[in-house]
Amino acid sequence: MQPIIVYLEPWEFSPTVLITCILLIAAYVRGLALTRHAGGAVGFWRPLSFFVGLGLIYIALQTYFDFLAQHMFWIHRLQVLFLHHAGPFLMALAGPWDTIARGVPRGLRERVFRPIFGSRAVRSLYGFLQHPLVAPLMFVGIIYFWLIPAVHFTAMLDVNRYRIMNWSMVVDGMLFWWIMVAPLSAQGHAKLPYLTRIVILIFVALLQIPLGAYITFRGSIIYNVYGICGRAWAINPMTDQQIGGLLTWIPPAMMCAVNMLVILRYMLHEQGGRPSAESTLANAVNV
Residue 7 has pLDDT above 90, yes or no: no
**What's the mean per-residue pLDDT of the chain?**
89
Q: Is the pLDDT of residue 4 over 80?
A: no
Q: Is 211 exposed, middle or buried (0-12, 13-18, 19+ CB in 10 A)?
A: middle
pLDDT score recorded for residue 51: 97
Residue 117, pLDDT score: 85
CA distance 257 to 197: 12
* % residues pLDDT > 70 (the chain): 90
Nearest to 147 by CA among 67, 213, 193, 62: 213
**What's this model's pTM, rounded to 2 decimal places?**
0.89
* Per-residue pLDDT tens over the stretch 147-183: 999 999 999 999 999 999 999 999 999 999 999 998 8
